[in-house]
Chain A
């Protein structure tokens, strides 16, 4: 069974704060993704990666950085968090069958 884990599950920070969201997958998948989920917008792709050291820009990248340190680990970085980045963030992975396996999500609140 595919396994994608995210940490933390909940995070509260202040405007201008520095936040790192973590994602790990144990499926040996090549592709990993970061999405944000907002009412009325569905799932929007922030960044994605093919493998360690690879990074591709998604559809809503402004204000976000990401880094893929290993095949298993993909991090999303908010260096100057803003209230507009309050959202539910999902990480996902896929091994090429095009089925994406999602983690449980991280709820981020920026005050």
Chain B
């Protein structure tokens, strides 16, 4: 079945460090890919999405590029801030799905220290 794998379970950085969180997916066709962010004590919220090969999604300084060749959608940010500390989820909506159902990765907890 469809699946999403996030390599890093936890990431610890200092402010102004470069961030990469790896996301690989397994699905047929062209699924829609998402990054969600969950701040402490809140529910997840959409960061951005991408629907086509080579499409770049971006928001709040974060970006990711849909790569069908490597089945990846890695999250990157050039300079993280303490306020970016949160859990990040990669997710996909199967292209074959007639229902609005998402498949989530395991989540990556980001901790940024001043």
Contacts and interface: CB of A to CB of B under 8 A. Distances in A.
B100 A90 contact: no
Interface residues of A, number: 24
Interface of A: 4, 31, 33, 40-45, 48, 50, 56, 90, 92, 94, 96, 98-105
A4 B32 contact: no
Interface stretch (B14-22, B69-77, B78-86, B103-111): B103-111
Contacts of B104: 42-44
A48 B101 contact: yes
Contacts of A4: 43
A40 B105 contact: no
A101 B36 CA distance: 10
A50 B44 contact: no
21 contacts: A31-B99, A31-B100, A42-B6, A42-B89, A42-B106, A42-B107, A43-B44, A43-B89, A43-B107, A48-B101, A56-B99, A96-B100, A98-B34, A98-B49, A98-B100, A100-B44, A100-B46, A100-B100, A101-B45, A102-B43, A102-B45
Contacts of A31: 99-100
B100 A105 contact: no
Contacts of A104: 41-43
Given A42-B107, A43-B104, A43-B107, A99 B89 contact: no
